[in-house]
Structure formats: structure tokens, C-alpha cells
Amino acid sequence: MKRYVYINDDNLAKDIYCDNRISNRKYTILNFLPKNIWEQFSRFMNQYFLLIACLQLWSLITPVNPASTWGPLILIFAVSSSKEAWDDYNRYLSDKKANEKEIWILRQGIRKLIQAQDICIGNIVWLRENDEVPCDLVLLGTADPQGFCYVETAALDGETDLKTRSIPSACMGIDVDLLHKIKGVIECPSPNKDIRRFDANMRLFPPFLDNDIFPLTIKNTLLQSCYLRNTEWACGVAVYTGNQTKLGMCRGIAEPKLTAVDAMIDKLTGAIFVFQIVVVIVLGIAGNVFKDKEGRKLWYVQYPKEGPWYELLVIPLRFELLCSIMIPISIKVSLDLAKSLYAKFIDWDVEMVDPETGIRSNAANQAISEDLGQVEYILTDKTGTLTENKMIFKRCCISGRFYGNESGDALTDAQLLNAVSTGSADVILFLKVMAICNTVIPVRSKSGTISYKALSQDEEALVCAAARLRMVLENKNGNILGKECPWWLGNAKAGNFSSCQKEQMKLFFLLPVLIVSGQQVRTLAEAVEQYAQLGLRTLCLAWRKLEEDEYQEWTSMFKEANSTLVDRERRVAEVCQRLERDFEILGVAAIEDRLQEGVPETIEILRKAGINFWMLTGDKMSTAIQIALSCNFVSPEPKGQLLIIDGKTEDEVCRSLERVLLTTRITESESKQDVAFVVDGWALEIALKHYRKPFTELAILSRTAICCRVTPSQKAQLVELLKLGDYRTLAIGDGGNDVRMIQQADIGVGISGREGLQAARAADYSIGKFRFLKRLILVHGRYSYNRTAFLSQYSFYKSLLICFIQIFFSFISGISGTSLFNTVSLMAYNVFYTSVPVLFSVLDKDLSERTVMQHPQILFDCQSGRLLNPSTFAGWFGRSLFHAIVVFVITIHSYAFEKSEMEEVAMVAVSGCIWLQAFVVALETNSFTIFQHLAIWGNLVGFYAINWIVSSIPTSGMYTIMFRLCEQPSYWITMILIVATGMCPVLALKYLRYTYRPSRINILQQAECFHSSGIIEPKSRSSLEKDLPSDSVYEPLLSESPSATRRSVGPAQRSDSFQSQSPPDSTHTRKDN
């Protein structure tokens, strides 16, 4: 569909299009409650507890007051709703500020000041320097005589360098005093979120122009949230407003990511639910049988002889209500609070602040911190991620002559400087192309000095190098480029390059038609290869002289293609290709991009932690390999081996992939070498399309991959390939071309670099430098996983403990579904008594940060899920059952036969649970702080304080209970007996395991205990290394069992795409950790 915007006539658009009111709010005052309630109870767990709460309203079946479930449910709902309301209120304030900002518009020859929200389609908006653009505009005029202006688009796409925008050719020459009289129509697409494209046409009505059609592109627009810079004023007509601007269309809620821990918790919750149903059915049947055979004989029970039709459901439903607490109602809130704190720890980490720029790390996604500790594959960009993205012109080869090889810097090469001073024609033409074939914007300061703004750091390096060699780009007005040099003065026509054409500029040496001698071609190919081996970025420069007739013919074709609204980009590219032929090659430029500080060390440590690395880059293969070797991606020969997958046809790629896969299988089975494969974008496209299964197997077998000349879509495909194998992936990049990869990965990390903030804004986490990734994973990721594993399993433990006691009590209460505990105790148990201590586990550290960084191998336990899996959960399940038996048996034998009140027995049982859980938390805590002591032992004091208050209320049902119990020595003896009986076996098992079967963590903990410096004794270090087999150090883990067997690629998973057979000993099975 199309949109027609009538310039300077807002009356025609008021009833058709929306105004400029921005609204990012999720709710309104009227729909907040119903909408939020719907969202809250769209989750299965909340639906479950709502059903339980509704069943408790049936007085015939409820064993306790409904408040025991309704209270916590309403509290949790209130906490979640309050958070949503607060976030939405902040969005409202932000919208209000933007909507009420005052903006100048031109109306009937007068500049008027209105609020931004009152701008309508067709209004002419007047902007001054440093003003924010309030909506999407098509430029009509600027203060620049050539119709140019400069905009900062950082808020839109994260790119920090200035971009140039120009008025349409139809508006050139219109006096500023006549702008308010312009009439015309703009034919443009319906609102969309493509910020890189705007294919439209403009027709101005007489007397300005006689209805001629002029094409409009994104270069003629100012988009919402950009800022006008270095331009006194600019004006434009509003074409998209409000939430229909390109930025407004891009806004949206990102799809939530499910962590491996969350997935495991969901599975365990499902298992507990099935167990609960089985218990309810068994006890329901037993209760009905007991009632019919024994219960009706008991005169004091007063069962009716004949009950209603639903009588058989009463006892099962009572047990369902009693057992509903098996699934902890507070687990989601507890985990959300803990994860929020994990994210804050990342934000607050002063050791992850870039000292050069002051950029801090930031956790944009607060829900996936524990996944950082389970990363198995890291897929990284090269330029700006591993390197500094500070391009320096180092060497060049012009007309077969090398410059900079001896000195290492072409700019100081005496031969090149001499050629420049003598006016060598080849060198001068080479420098001309360097200076003008780019999108660099020269900016002249008040003092007269010239600085350059560029989207590409390569272009800026070339222009700066040309300027140092006396070929200075002074200005860029319209399609005219002004240059200053001693030998050539004048103007030259130039045009902008598309992204595709920019890539072709790097590939000119591959063109079939080059007007050079065979010897020169060999020399240039040799130069390209030599520079690539040095890790330099290479760019071939070529030129072609156009005749006037050919240029005029091409211009008319270009104008026609550029005026179409349908498939404009393809048609323009086809026209440009007619011009891009018969080039004469000039030479090769080589640019250095240095590695960031700490990159090799970071990669080496993370590889020791069992993480595999993939480099995905757009550079040529030899350059990528050289960078990979210097980054410790691949070990040098003979320890390391590089296998190359190449080919231009399906057969060639098939044979190459078969050979590499066969070699990898053999090498992996012998475990002798560090194998990596290299593939370029063309071969990768064929492999993913036709040989996906064998390529997937190769990806799993190889520790390292180097993918060259890959596109952004191919980067995302590779991430998806690994995710389909259930591997946890982390993608890291710094530019807009990395966004798709970052969003596709389980964890996206963006680097706030010189290419802007686009990747950082799209990522889950942003950091200032690549080296901070080491701390993000090993420290924050590992701690987050350990803490979440304990918190989630403890939440189930405390709920199962109280539930098992209820079940045991049913056997001495006629299996009738009667509750031992009163409403207050049950409600406070989950919300207050047991939640506060465990929340402070977010401060727990099993090992110091220094030890963790010194021994990255300990990340294996997190990768394999050893701390949270069905086996570890079974241990917590057994502990809750054992502790429930201890509490119930000791309590019953101590008080039930002493003619005590039932409330006294219940209070003794609750007290025993609270004491046991305090010691359980203390036992599982590795590092105590004052906050943890206050939480654990202060919680005990709080328990008694609350119950003393409740016991002093006559109508509470617990009147004087706690006072009487605390006065009895038998109560305190019972507590000591419960703690001793419940904790002694746990302590004994922990001691035996710690002493005779210590894990890696135990060994390091012992070392830290004996040596506060954290340095391991020789014996301990050797024990640790013995526990870490050398043949399995680097492979990723998957299994969720405590044994943590490695992921296997057995014969059944082998691809049948190849006819050749692998040797019998090449079957690959990943070994146990």
C-alpha cells in the first residue's frame, strides 16, 4: 500500500493518519487490572494456585482457612503488578516529556511553536542546530547552500559518526522565504521499520515545478530521534508520525529467552505435580476405604449414613489442597528477585569498567545470568570485537612497486614520499582514488582544521593517509568533491556506494577484465597474499575513465531506475553493474587493525574452561587465519591443525567437506591434535543447503571454526545450527552486521565500540572490551548458576518438608485430610519464615574470584548441569523426606501423648522445621557475610517474635501457645534433638565426601582454607589436574546427570551424504569429564 502526503496541507491528513503522539505504554488506567490479571494468570503455575485457592473456598473440603493460599497468591500478584505498574508509569513519564516538547512549524508563512504531539502529516517542521527530530521528515531545505545537513543517528541505529543528508533535487534553489509556500505531494510506502530504506517520489505543484516526478531515498530524510548537527537550520515535511515512524515501528518487546536452569525447573515442577497427583489418588482411595470400614464405626466422627453424590471426591480434594504446597508458590518471585540482583552485580562490577572510555558493563536482560555459566560455544566477530577497530594505513603496492615493507609504515617510506614529491602519475592517481571513493564527511572547525567523519574506519584511515601524503579531501558538496593537492586542482564527480558495491571494491582484483599485464597481476596477487599473511586488511583500488556520451546515457537509465517504487534497489544495482566493467587496477592498500589488549589470554582461559570458539568474519581467509593464530584460537603446528573447506560447486564442496570430516574423526579418536576447520561464505552456503548433516557433525567434533566472507544472515544460521544441537551459545559483536547473530544466540553480548552502539543495544549484555568476557562468564555466570541451583532446589525442599509432615499426620488422623498446621503458620511459612534467609544466598561464593579465574576448568560443573539435575533434586527430595520423618516422629513422641493441644504439637513441628532449615542454609553456605548471619539467625529471632505477637492475640487461635512452649525445657530439648538427629547424618555424609571423595571444588576450597592467598599446594594442584583428564578438558558438556557424560555423536548420527566409509576406530564419543 502507498501513502500520499500533501505538503503544507494538514487538513487532508488529519482524519486519515495519526497525530504525533508517542505512546509506549503497555496499560491504561482502565485496562491495567483486567489486562495485568490476564497476563499474570496466563502462566501455568499461577493458574494452578488460583485453582487451589478457589477450591479452598468450598468449606466442605478445605482443611485450612482459604487465607493460607489466597494471602501468598495476592501478595505475589501485588508484587508483580506493582513492578509492572511502576515500569509502565516510567514509560508514561518518558512519553509525556517527548510529547510535550515544543517544536517550530511553518504555517501560512509564520513560524509557530507547538507541542510535538500536535504535529500532523504534511506539516513543515523547522529544526535548529542540535534539535531532536520529532517525527520522520523529508527534507525541503537547509542552511547549507548545497542543500546538505548533518545528523547524528546514535539513538536510532547506535552509530556514533555523523551522517550526511541532502534535500531532493526538486527543492534545490528554492529560496528560504518561499519554503512556506511549497505545495506538492509525496508518494511513499506505508509505515515500516526499515531504517535503511525509503523508496518514494515527490511531485511539486506549479509555480515551483510542473509536476515532474523526483525520486526520494533515505538520504533525503530525517528520522525520529536523530539530532541535527553542524547545520544552522533545516526544515522538512512530516511523512510518518507518532508510533508509525520507523523508530516507532521498530519498538517492541523482545521474545523472552528460556535458560537451561528455567527449563530444568519446569521439568522438575512437572515431576512434582505428577508425584502430587499420585499421592492424592492413593491417599484419597485409602481415606474413603478407611471411612467406610472404620470411620463410620466411630461415634465421635459423626459421618452420615448416606452422603451426597460427590462424597467420594471430598477426601481426595482435601488431600489435593494439603499437597498443593509441594510446588512452592514463592519460587518465581524468589528467582526473579535473585536474577535482578545478579544483573545489578554485573552493572556494579568496577573491574569490568573500560579505563579508556569509562564504559561500564550493562545487563539489559535480567533473566538469563545463570546461562552465562553454561556457555559451550562462543561465536565472535573479528573487526572491532577481537581487534581495536582503529585502522592505520601501513603498506601499499602501486603499479607493482611495494611501499612500507622495509620501514613497516608506508607513510614514512622514503620511496613513496619521493614519488609523491616528484608527482608520479601512478601514485597521484592512486591517492586520488583513496581520497574520493568513500562516504567520508570532511568537517572544518572554526580554526580551519579539517577532521573526518566516517561510517567505515577503513575509509577514514585511507582518507587520512591520503591527506598526510598531501591529497586532502576538503569538502563534499552535493555530488562534487573538492580536493587540495600540489599537482591537481578541480572537481570530480562521485557517487555513494551501496553496501554491495563496498564489498565489490575489496574484490576488484578478482574481476575477469583488468587492463594490466600478466606480470602486474601476479605482483598484485602476491601483495594481497603477503599483506593478508601479516594480518592486514587489504583493499584493491581501480578506476575507469568514462566518455561523455556513455555517462549521459547511463545517467538517464539511473534516474529511471531510481524513480521506481517497486524493487528500486535491485534495478539500481543492475544499472550500476553496467558501469562497473573494464577497470584498470591501480594497486593494493593494506590497513592494520590491532588486537585488543588481553584478547589472546581471554580466549586461552575460556578454551581451558571447555568453551569452543567460532570466528565469523567478513575478511578474506588468509587474514582471518592469521588473526586466529595470534588470538590463540588455534594452536600452532604441530599441536594444532587447520583443515580448509573450499570449492565453488556442490561436488567440490562435498569432496572437501568429506575429507575434512574424515580427518577430524580420526584426529578426535586419537586425541592428539587441536583441530580447526576453515570455510568461506560460498562453500558455507552450499554446505548449509545441501550437506547440513555432515557439516553439523563436523561442527560438533571441532573445537574451533573460522568462517570467512560470511554475511549477517549466515552468522545467524550458524548460531541456529548449534542451538539445534542443544548447545548453549553466546554471540559477541560490535557492529550492526552482528545484530542478527546476537539476537539469535542464547546469550547476546555487544561491545560498545567505534562502530557504535547498535550491537550493544540489541544484546542481552554489553561490555567495553572483549577481555571482560572472561570475568562475565567465569565469575558472574558461574556464581549465578550456583546460586540459582541452590535457591530453586531449596525452595522445593522447604515446601516438600512441610507437605510430608501433613501427609504423615493424616495416618494418625484417620486419613481424613485434616491439616496439622493452622492458617497463620502455613501462610507465614512460605512467605516469611523460609524465604528471607535463602534470598541472601545471592551473596554466597563457593570460591574466591581469584581462584575461579586461576582454574577455569571448574566451569565444567556448570556446563554439565551438575548442580541442578534430576539426581541432585532427588538428593534434596530425600533430605526433605528424612527431615520430615525426624520432625514428625520426635514431635509426636514428645507432645502428642502428653495430652497437649493440637496447636502446641503443630507449633513444635513448625519450630523444628524452621530450626532445621536455618542449619541447612548455614551448611550449604560457603562464604558468610554479616548479611547472611543476620538473615539466617535473625530469621529465627523473627520467627519467635512474630509468634509471640500472634500468641498474645486472644482471637488468633494460638493464644498463649508460644509463651507456654518457651517456658518448657522439654520444648528446647526437642529442638536440640530435632537438629541433632536431622543434621548429623547430613554432616557425616558431607564430611566423608569432602575427605575421601573430594571434588575439584572441594580441593580448591581446602587450599583456600589453608592458604588465604588462594595458591594451591603442589599436592592439591596435582590432585586437581588428575581430576581433570587432559583428553577431555576442552570439550563442551551437556548431560544433566552428576556423572556429566559428554555429548556423543554415535554412528547412528553420522551423515549418509558421503559414500566413503570412515575407519573402524574413528567412532567419536565424547569422554566423561
Question: Would you name the residues annotated as active-site residues?
Answer: 381
Place of cell 568429506: 658
Q: Which residue has the cell 517550530?
A: 104
Q: Are 368 and 764 spatial neighbours (Cβ–Cβ below 8 Å)?
A: yes
Structural contact between residues 398 and 431, judged by C-beta atoms closer than 8 angstroms: no
Alpha-carbon distance of 986 to 550, in angstroms, equals 89
Distances (CA, A) of 577 to 500, 549, 573: 11, 17, 6
What sign does the dihedral 1048-1053-1056-1057 (CA atoms) show?
negative
CB atoms closer than 10 angstroms to residue 620? 19
Query: How far apart, in whole angstroms, are the C-alpha atoms of residue 450 and residue 444?
Result: 4
Positive/negative CA dihedral, 1055, 1061, 1062, 1067: positive
Instruction: State how far the Cα of 576 lies from the Cα of 296, in Å rounded to an integer.
Output: 96
Q: Are 398 and 434 in contact (CB under 8 A)?
A: no
Which residues, at least 6 apart from 566, have a Cβ–Cβ distance to it below 8 Å?
none
Distance CA(964)–CA(702), nearest Å, equals 69
Mark 929-948 as b/e (b = at least 16 C-beta within 10 Å): eeebeebbeebbeebeeebe
Residue 248 CA to residue 244 CA, distance in Å, equals 6
* Dihedral over Cα of 366, 368, 370, 376: its sign: negative
CA distance 203 to 206: 10
Q: Are 100 and 117 in contact (CB under 8 A)?
A: yes
Strand partners, 680: 708
Q: Which residue has the cell 570455510?
A: 679
Q: How far apart are CA 1069 and CA 975, in angstroms?
A: 52
CA-CA distance, 386 to 623, in Å (whole number)?
13
C-alpha distances (whole Å) from 187 to each of 142, 218, 239 are 22, 14, 10
Q: What is the distance between the alpha carbons of residues 242 and 17, in angstroms, rounded to a whole number?
A: 10
Instruction: Look up cell 600478466; give the residue.
Output: 518
Helix (H) or strand (E) holding 55: helix 44-55
Break the chain down into helix, strand, coil percent, rounded to 5: 50, 15, 30
Give CA angle at 753 (249, 388), nearest 5°: 150
Give the helix/strand (H/E) hosting 973: helix 969-996
C-alpha cell at 10: 494538514
Asked whether the beta carbons of 372 and 614 are under 8 A apart, the reply is no
C-alpha to C-alpha distance for 542 and 520, rounded to whole angstroms? 13
CB 913 within 8 A of CB 801: yes
Q: Residue 286 and residue 305: Cα distance in Å, rounded? A: 19
What cell was used for 169? 533535487
d(C-alpha 546, C-alpha 531), whole Å: 32
Phi-psi bin for 925: left (phi > 0), alpha (psi -120 to 50), beta? beta
Strands (E), 683-814: 704-708, 729-733, 747-751, 765-767
Amino acid present at 403? Y
Grid cell in block for residue 698: 563436523
Pairing outcome for strands 729-733 and 377-380: parallel
